[in-house]
Structure 1
Amino acid sequence: MTWEETLKLYDNITEACDGFERKGKKMIYTSSNGYMFTLLNKDGEIGIRLPKEMANKFKTDYNTGDYYSYGAKMRDYVLVPKNLYINKALLVEYFEKSFAYINSLPSK
C-alpha cells in the first residue's frame, strides 16, 4: 500500500469517527485535550495511543509492537499491522478508544 493509499484509509477512518478530525499536512495526526492520539508516519505506518493494558493486549492479539515515528519510539503507542488495514470497523473502534483515553487524561 502506498503512502497516499494509507493516507486515504486514515482519512476514511477519522471521517467515520465522532468528535475529532485529521490534522496536519505533512505530519498527519489526530489530537484532543492537548494530546496527539493517532499518527501516520512518513513510512505509511499508523500508530494509536492506548492505555497500557489495552496497548499490551493489542500487541498480543495482533502480533505487533511499539510505534516509531521519525526514528523515535512513541510512548504508549502501538503499531497497527498492515494486515488490519482492511478492517476499517476495527480501526474506527480503536481510534475511538484512543480518543476516549486521551480525553480521560488531565488537559495540557
Structure 2
Amino acid sequence: MSESPSYKDRKVITIGVVSELTGLSERQIRYYEERKLVFPERSQKGNRKYSFTDVELLIDIANKREEGVQTYEIRQDMIRAEKRKEKKMRQHLLRGEINARFGIQKER
C-alpha cells in the first residue's frame, strides 16, 4: 500500500490561483520554472498545477529576490540543501544496515 502525498504536496492549484496567493505575476512564476526553481506538474490539457509547498517556495523565492539574491544563487542553495538531505538519508540508511547486520537495537 503506497502512501498518498500530504495535502501540501498534492499538485492541484492552477497558476492563476498561485499568482493570487503569492502576489507574483504568472510570467514571474513561469520564469522561476524556467530557472528550475519550481517544478509544477502538467494536467492532461497541459496546464501547470502547483502544490501548497510550491506556493510556500515561491513566496520564499520572491522574498529572496526582494533582498537582491539572484536566481542562480537561489538554485545553488537549493542544490546544496538537496545534497545535504541526500547525504543525511544515506547516513541514516547505512546506520540501519549496520544495526541490522550486527543486531544492534535502539535503546528506548
**Structure with the higher fraction of residues in helix conformation:** 2
**Structure with the higher fraction of residues in strand conformation:** 1
User: Which structure's relative contact order is higher, taking Cα pairs within 8 Å and 6+ residues apart?
Assistant: 1
TM-score normalised to structure 1 length? 0.38
TM-score normalised to structure 2 length? 0.38
Question: Which structure: larger Rg?
Answer: 2
